[in-house]
A and B are shown apart, each in its own frame.
Chain A
Amino acid sequence: EVQLLESGGGLLQPGGSLRLSCAASGFTFSSYAMSWVRQAPGKGLEWVSTIPGSGGSTFYADSVRGRFTISRDNSKDTLFLQMHSLGAEDTAVYYCAKHTDFSPSRSYFDRWGQGTLVTVSS
């Protein structure tokens, strides 16, 4: 069974940094692209970042480019999101999501974790 377990969320002050992790199991992790998607309280889904199965080219939403870095460790079946210069607008539940294909451009999100809450507040 596919499982995605996010961790690393919490409460932090504006300007702070945080690293999220997503531990994957139940599938061949390196064979699939992975993404982070966030959802601010009471709002819709916002794609954040994507990384191919090989960990090559990465993609970011304009709202986080230059502040967030996505990476993966295929030897440990783990996805990461390093976040810097956080602001109140980054407050959200962060989901990791498995793509249906190795390539991000040919795929959708067929499995999601339960999410980890990041709250940025002074």
Chain B
Amino acid sequence: EIVLTQSPATLSLSPGERATLSCRASQSVSNYLAWYQQKPGQAPRLLIYDASNRATGIPGRFRGSGSGTDFTLTISSLEPEDFAVYYCQQRGKGTFGQGTKLEIK
């Protein structure tokens, strides 16, 4: 079973700053990786699929990259509504990473 490890567990930044979140797979998942955003009290929302494709309606400031075992979600300039928990997930499998909480500094 492939394990997804996200880092850091918590990231403290200010609006306008750039956020870089990492997801590492225990073995290659090719580019079959997604990123989800979850705000308190809400269901998760698909942001990125197949490592680098933005889902419908996702702003351009969200960018996914990587392949194989190392993946990155970059938010170029944080908006107040971007502070949330982010999860990565392997396509087709249920496995999620443990999440990165992006909080306001």
Contacts and interface: CB of A to CB of B under 8 A. Distances in A.
Closest 8 pairs between A and B when the two form their complex, measured CB to CB: A47-B94, A112-B43, A105-B92, A108-B34, A45-B96, A44-B99, A110-B46, A108-B49
A62 B82 CA distance: 33
**Interface class of chain B by DSSP:** loop
A20 to B, nearest CB: 15
Interface in A38-66: 44-48, 50, 59, 61
Interface residues of B, number: 23
Contact of B92 (A46, A48, A107): A107
Interface in B15-72: 34, 36, 38, 42-46, 49, 55-56
Nearest to B33: A108
Q: In which size bucket is the chain A interface?
A: 20 to 34
A100 B43 CA distance: 17
Contact of A37 (B45, B46, B55, B94): B94
A24 to B, nearest CB: 14
Interface string A96-107: 000010001111
Contacts of B34: 108-109
Given A46-B96, A100-B49, A110 B43 contact: no
B87 interface: yes
A48 to B, nearest CB: 8
